[in-house]
Amino acid sequence: MRQLLIYGLVKGETREYMEELLATNAKNPADVEKVKAAAAAQGWHSFRVATYNGEAPDFAKAVNV
């Protein structure tokens, strides 16, 4: 099952590593836009959308490139 994860920065924050997970239940791009609009109305910014398919990452493969 593929999930859309939406991250953003709280108002006043500029450091990318401080982003917070805003939603995990978006099913399609329209849902993503709704979450982004609602969060932006509360001052959140710099949104990022990622996908997650339920599998654990293969860190060994990433290191042994």
What are the tokens at 19?
């982003």
Average pLDDT over residues 35-61: 92
pLDDT band at 54 (very low <50, low <70, confident <90, very high): confident
* DSSP three-state, residue 29: helix
**Does residue 46 carry a pLDDT above 80?**
yes
Separation between Cα atoms, residue 52 and residue 15, nearest integer Å: 23
pLDDT attached to residue 34 = 96
pLDDT tens digit sequence for 15-44: 999 999 999 999 999 999 999 999 999 999
* Domain of 30, in residue numbers: 3-63
What are the tokens at 25?
């239940």
pLDDT attached to residue 16 = 93
Element (H, E) at 23: strand 20-26
Domain count of the chain?
Answer: 1
Q: pTM of the predicted model, to two decimals? A: 0.81
Task: Work out the burial of residue 45: count CB atoms within 10 Å of its CB; fewer than 13 is exposed, 13-18 middle, 19 or more buried.
Answer: middle
